[in-house]
Amino acid sequence: MERKENNILLHKTFHIEGGDFINAGSISDHVKKILSEAGFPNKIIRRISIAAFEAEMNVICYATRGDLSLFITPNFLKVVVEDEGKGIPDVNLAMSEGYSTADEKIRELGFGAGMGLPNIRKNADEMILTSKFRQGTHLEFIIYLDRQETQLPFE
């Protein structure tokens, strides 16, 4: 772990405000631009943008506030999303496709399909999700840079 910490080429943290549908998607846009300027392959950028977008939308839809951090290392890209809010009572249930606790307003905007977390899992090489009910949720995902040949199941 110590070695990895020393190898961080870039670490950037963005704040996300719960319920801020006006700026929704702006953090994942930032992440995409940083990676694109850094010259990462399109496929990697697409996978991380999708996962970051879903993670950002989860904070906006369900949490009070949160932070999304991007770490670039020589071997992998990592995103950590830490939020304060109602948390997820049953993480396994939340990971199942189609399960959603979204209210009417969220669904009207086209969110709350119950596919956000599964989309993150599909696009990341590794994903960790933990949550404390009524406190908040911690999500991390990693995309390895040396496994670019990995095909997504839906491509």
Residues forming contacts to other proteins in the complex (CB under 8 A) are 21, 24-25, 28-29, 32, 46, 49-50, 53-54, 57, 109-116, 118-119, 122, 154-155
List, edge to edge, every strand of the sheet that includes 126-132: 10-17, 63-72, 76-85, 136-144, 126-132
- Write down the least CB distance from residue 66 to other proteins, Å: 18
- Which lies closer to other proteins via its Cβ, residue 2 or residue 149? 149
- Which lies closer to other proteins via its Cβ, residue 56 or residue 140? 56
Q: Which of 153, 136, 145 is nearest to 73 (CA)?
A: 145
- Which lies closer to other proteins via its Cβ, residue 19 or residue 25? 25
- Write down the least CB distance from residue 43 to other proteins, Å: 11
- Write down the least CB distance from residue 17 to other proteins, Å: 16
- Which lies closer to other proteins via its Cβ, residue 85 or residue 112? 112
- Write down the least CB distance from residue 116 to other proteins, Å: 5
- Write down the least CB distance from residue 77 to other proteins, Å: 16
- Which lies closer to other proteins via its Cβ, residue 2 or residue 98? 98
Q: What are phi and psi of 53, to 5 degrees?
A: -60, -50
